[in-house]
Structure 1
Amino acid sequence: MEMMNEFNWYWYSAGIAEIFVMVVCLALLVAGAFSHKSVEGKFVRNLTMLGLFGALVMVIGHIPEVREFAFPVVGTDIIPQAVSSLFVNDKLTVFLKVFIIVSAMLCLFLVDDYMTRKKTRKYEYDILILLSVLGAMIMVSAADMLMMYIGLELMSFSLYILTAFHRKEAKSSEAGLKYFILGSLASGLLLFGMSYVYGLTGETSFDGLQQAFASGKGIGDAPMMATFAMVLMLTGMAFKMSAAPFHMWTPDVYEGAPTPVTAYMSIVPKIAAIGIFVRVLFEPFMYFADQWQQIVIVLSILSMAVGSFMAIVQNNLKRLLAYSSIANIGFMLIPVATASATAVDKTLSYLLVYGIMTLGIFAILLSLRLREKFVENIDDLKGLSKSSPAIAAALAILMFSLAGVPPFAGFMVKLEAFRVGVELGLTWLVTIGVVLSVVSAYYCLRIVKVMYFDDGKDVYSPEVPSELRLVAWAMVVLVIGFGILPDSIFEVTETVQHSLMDATAFNG
C-alpha cells in the first residue's frame, strides 16, 4: 500500500511545480493586501523568491537521474496517459522550465533600485511576474493545444499589465495598449487555427494530432485546409517570439515598458514561445515539414534582415535591443529551418546564450546614471570608459558576444547554428545569415566605439545594490566561460533534443 501511495503521488506530481506557483500567487495576494506598507515590498519579494526556488527544486526533481534517486520504486517510468495527454515532463520541458525560473529570479534582482527611484514600488509587480512564469511553465509543459493556449494567455495578460505598470507615464500606457491590441489579434489567429485543426481531426492533444496526420485523418478531403490551419497557428506563435514580419509591436513595447520589465520580456516569453514553437513543429506538425520548413526559412530571413538593418538606425538603447532580439530570433531559427530534430539543440544553445547576454546588458544599463537619470540613448554612453572603466569593459564584452565576435559564447553558438545549417543542406540560408551577422555587428560595435572613443557626458555608475553588479558580472563570466568551454552548453542541449527525436521517430 505504501508503494502504491508513493507511485500515485508521483503520477500527480506532473504539474506540481505549476500548482505550487499558483498557490504562492494566491498567498501573495493575501499577504500584499494585509501587510503594512513599510514591509509589504520586502516581504512579498522574499516570498516570491522562495516560491520560485521551491518551483525550481520541484522541476529539477523531474530530471531522470534525480527522479530515479528520489523515487527508486518509480524509477523512470512514464507518467500515465491521464496526465500525459495534457502535460509532458520530458528533458526538453525540464530544461525550459529551469531556464524560465532561473531567468525570472535573476530579473527580479534588477527591479528594486529602479522601482525605488521611480517611486512605483508595488507588491503587484511580483505577483504579475509569478503569474507570467506560471503561464510560461504551462506553455512549455503543454501536450495539448488547449493547455498551450491557457498558458499563453496567462503569460500574455500578465505582460500586458506589466508593460503599462507606469500608468502615469504616457509611453508606458501606450505600450501596454499596443501590446494588448496586437497580442489579442495574434491570440485570435492562433485560436482560429486551433479550431480548424480540431475540426479536421477531432483531436487536441499533440500525440493524437501527430497520429491523426500521419494516418491521413482530416487531410485526405481538405489538405489545403490543414495547411492553412497550421499557418494560422504558426503566425500566432511567431508574433509571441517577435519574428518578422510579426514584430511590429516589439520596439514600441520595449521602449515604453519599465526597463526591468523589458529585460524580463526579452528573455522569459521568448523561452516559452520558442520552446512551444519547436515542440509544435516537430511533434503534431512533423507530417507537414515540407510546408512549414518554407515558412520558417522566410521568418528567419526576414527577422535577420529587419532586425539587423533597423537596429543600425536606432539611438534609443531599448529600441536597439528590441531589433537586436528580432535579428537573433532569425539566427535561432536557422537550425529549426533544417526541419531536422537533430539540429534543435543548436537553437536551444543559442537561446540560452542570448538570455545570458541580454540579462547582463540590462543589468549594466540599470546601474548607470546620467544627471541622476537612467541612460536611455546610445549617446548617453559617451566616455563611459573614463568614468566607469570596469562597467564599460563588462558592457563591451557582452556587446562583442552579441555581435558574434570570438572567443565569446555568442560567437560559438552562432557558429554552430551556421554549421548545422550547412551540414543539412541550407548553405544558401547560412550565407545570408553570415552577411546579416556582419551587418548586425555594426550596431554592437557602435556602442563600444561610443564608450571608448567619444567625448564623455559624465555618465557614471553610482552606488547601486550589490545584486545588480552580481548579475552583470556573473553574466560576463558565463559569456567568457561558455566561449572557452562551449561543449558545456552543447552537451546539455544535445541531451535535451533527444526528447524531440524520440517523439518524431515514427515519422522518419
Structure 2
Amino acid sequence: MSEQLVLILPELALTGGLCLLLLVDLVFPRRRSWETGIFALGVLGVVAYLLLQRYHAGPHDAFGGLLRLDRFAAIFQLAITGAAGFALFLNLQQFRFPQDRGRIETQFLFLCATLGGFVLVGTQHLMMLYLGLEMLGLCSYALADVHKRDRAGAEAGMKYVVYGALSSGVMLYGISLLFGLGGASFAMPDVALGINQALLEGEGVRVLLPTLLLLAGFLFKLALVPFHWWAPDVYQGTTTAIAGYLAVGSKLVALGALLRCFAILFATTLHGIEGDPALLAVTTAASEFGASFGMVLAVLAAVSMLWGNLAALGQTHLRRLLAYSSIGHAGYLLAAVSLMSADGLAAAGTYALVYAVASLGAFAAVFGIAMRAGSEDLRDWTGLGWKYPLASGALVLFFASLTGLPPTAGFAGKWRLLASLWAGGQPLLALLLALLSVVSLFYYFRVIKQLYLERPAEDFRPAIERPLPWLAAFLLVVGAATLALLNLGWVDTPIAAATADLIRG
C-alpha cells in the first residue's frame, strides 16, 4: 500500500492542500483575502514539481489499474495545473466583485476541479472516468454560479447545470453499454477486446451507439456543437478567472481523457495488430469502423468550426467573443481526432497545449484592459491601445497566435493540424480550417482596430489608477512562451511519444 501511495503523491498533495484550506478558514476566519490564495498557488507549485518527477519516472499502474500514471497523464496534468494557477492568480486580482477576492470557496473549488481533472486524464477505467468527470463538472457548476448576487452569473450557472446533467446522463448510458461489450468489465483494455470481437462479427452498431453516447460527455466539456449552448452565457456571466479556467482547464481535461479513451478502445483501428496474419480480419474490420466513425467526428468538427467562427463575428463583449472562438478551436481539435490515427491524436494534443497558452494570455490581457476601462464591451475600449500599451500589445500577440499567424506558436500548431489533415486524407477539412482561420482574423482585428485606430473618448476616466505589476509580469512570461513555442518540437515530440505509448499499451 505504501508503494501505491508514493505513486499518487501529486494527488495526495492536492488533497492535503484542499483540507488545509478548509482548516485555515476555520482557525483564521479574519485572515487577509490574499493569504489563502498564495497558499493555494504554493500547493499547485508543489504538485507541479511532483508531476515532473512522475513524468521522468516511467509508467506505473496504481490500485489495480484504476489509474495509469504515465507520461501522457503527466503532460496533461501539468497543463491543467498551470490553468488552475492562472485562474487563482486572476482571482486574487479580480475587480468585478472585490468583496469576494480570495474567497475560500472559489479557491477550494479550483483545487477540487483540478483533482477531478487529474483522475479524468489518468484513468483507464470507465467508472473512474465518469467519477472524475462528475467531480470536475460539479466544481465547474459551482464556480460558474459562485457570485449569486449577480443575475447574469446565476442564469449562466443554471444553464450550465442543465446542459451538464443532460450530457452526463447520456454519457453514463453509453458507459453501461460499453460495460456489456467488455464482458461485465469497466476496464478499457477489456472493453477494447469486446469492441474488436463485435467488429469482427460485423456488429458495428453495437460499438457505434455506445461510443457516440460516451462522446456526449466530452462534447459538452469541449463546448462542441450540439453541446455548446452554455459556453457564451457562462463565459460572459462569470468572472474572467473562472471563464479562463473553463475555456482552457476543462478543455485540456476533456481532450486528454478523450485521447486516452480512443487510444485504448480503438488501438486496433489506430495501430492495427502487427505480426499476426491470423488477426488481419480484426484489423480490417477495425479500420472500416474507424473510417465510418471518423466521418461522424469530421461532420461535428466542421459544424463546430463554422458555428464558432461565424458567430464570433457579431460579438462586442470580449469574453463572449472568446467563448465563440473557443468553440471554433474545439472544432479544430476534433478535426484532428476524426482522422482516427496516431498522428491525428498527437496533433490534437499538441494544438491543445499551444491553444491553452494563447487563450490564457488572451483572457489575462482582456482582464488587464477591462480593469482600466471598467467594462468588457468592445465599444468602451476605443483608443485604449495607446493608453495601456503592455496589455494591448500582449492581446495583439495572443490574438495573432489564436489566428495562426507567424512568428507565434499558433502558426506552428495550425500548420501541424493542416499537415495531419492533408496526410490523413481529409483535404476538405484542411481547407475549411484554413478558410476559417482567415475569418477569425476579421473578428480579432476588429478588437485591434478599436484599440489602436479609433480616437479615445475625451472624457475617459480609468476605473482604477493603481499599477498592476504582477499582471504585467504574467503577460510578459506568457507572451514569451507564445513566441518560444514556435519551435513546436518542444511540445509535439513528447506528446507524439506519449500518444504512441498509449496506443501500444
1:46 to 24, 38, 50: 38
Q: In the alignment, what sits opposite 1:267?
A: 248
Tell me how far 1:188 sits from its aligned partner: 0.5
Three-state SS of the structure 1 residue aligned to 2:146 is: coil
Instruction: Pick which of 178-187 and 195-204 moved more.
Output: 195-204
Residue 422 of structure 1 pairs with residue 404 of structure 2: no
Q: In the alignment, what sits opposite 2:49?
A: 57
Q: In the alignment, what sits opposite 1:490?
A: 492
Judge conservation of contact 1:110–1:363 (CA < 8 Å) in 2: yes
The 1-side partners of 2:317 and 2:79 are apart by 28
Judge conservation of contact 2:110–2:139 (CA < 8 Å) in 1: yes
Q: In the alignment, what sits opposite 2:398?
A: 398
Tell me how far 1:231 sits from its aligned partner: 0.8
Q: In the alignment, what sits opposite 1:364?
A: 365
Three-state SS of the structure 1 residue aligned to 2:425 is: coil
Paired residues, number: 480
Three-state SS of the structure 2 residue aligned to 1:88 is: strand
2:15 to 22, 41, 44: 22
Three-state SS of the structure 2 residue aligned to 1:132 is: helix
Instruction: Pick closer, same or farther for the CA change 1:320–1:459 going to 2, 3 Å.
Output: farther
* Match runs of 1:197-346 below 5 Å: 197-201=178-182, 202-216=184-198, 220=201, 223-286=204-267, 287=286, 288-346=289-347
Instruction: Pick which of 137-146 and 401-410 moved more.
Output: 401-410
Q: In the alignment, what sits opposite 2:440?
A: 440
Tell me how far 1:220 sits from its aligned partner: 4.4
Letter in 2 for 1:499: D
The 1-side partners of 2:260 and 2:490 are apart by 24
Question: Percent identity, aligned pairs only?
Answer: 25
The 2-side partners of 1:346 and 1:464 are apart by 40
The 1-side partners of 2:220 and 2:92 are apart by 30
Letter in 2 for 1:498: A
Instruction: Pick closer, same or farther for the CA change 1:220–1:45 going to 2, 3 Å.
Output: same
The 2-side partners of 1:473 and 1:147 are apart by 39
Residue 94 of structure 1 pairs with residue 96 of structure 2: no
Tell me how far 1:502 sits from its aligned partner: 1.7
Judge conservation of contact 2:309–2:440 (CA < 8 Å) in 1: yes
Instruction: Pick closer, same or farther for the CA change 1:36–1:115 going to 2, 3 Å.
Output: farther
The 2-side partners of 1:152 and 1:231 are apart by 17
Unaligned runs of 5+ in 2: 268-285
Judge conservation of contact 2:422–2:430 (CA < 8 Å) in 1: yes
2:161 to 180, 198, 207: 180
1:105 to 85, 96, 99: 85
Letter in 2 for 1:376: E
1:132 to 113, 123, 128: 113
Q: In the alignment, what sits opposite 1:160?
A: 141
Q: In the alignment, what sits opposite 1:481?
A: 484
Deviating above 6 A after TM superposition, structure 1's stretches of 4 or more consecutive aligned residues are: none
Instruction: Pick closer, same or farther for the CA change 1:262–1:221 going to 2, 3 Å.
Output: same
Tell me how far 1:382 sits from its aligned partner: 1.4
The 2-side partners of 1:237 and 1:459 are apart by 44
The 2-side partners of 1:191 and 1:464 are apart by 49
1:32 to 25, 38, 45: 25
The 1-side partners of 2:349 and 2:221 are apart by 17
The 2-side partners of 1:250 and 1:369 are apart by 20
Letter in 2 for 1:98: L
1:201-243 per-position Cα deviation (integer Å, ceiling 9, x unaligned) = 31211111112222349x8496423321111111221111111
Instruction: Pick closer, same or farther for the CA change 1:501–1:342 going to 2, 3 Å.
Output: farther
The 1-side partners of 2:159 and 2:430 are apart by 34
Tell me how far 1:58 sits from its aligned partner: 2.0
Judge conservation of contact 2:390–2:472 (CA < 8 Å) in 1: no
Q: In the alignment, what sits opposite 1:3?
A: none
Q: In the alignment, what sits opposite 1:72?
A: none
Tell me how far 1:315 sits from its aligned partner: 0.9
Tell me how far 1:459 sits from its aligned partner: 7.2
* Match runs of 1:52-91 below 5 Å: 52-64=44-56, 67=57, 76=58, 79=60, 83=63, 85-91=65-71
- Report the TM-score, using the length of structure 2 for normalisation: 0.90
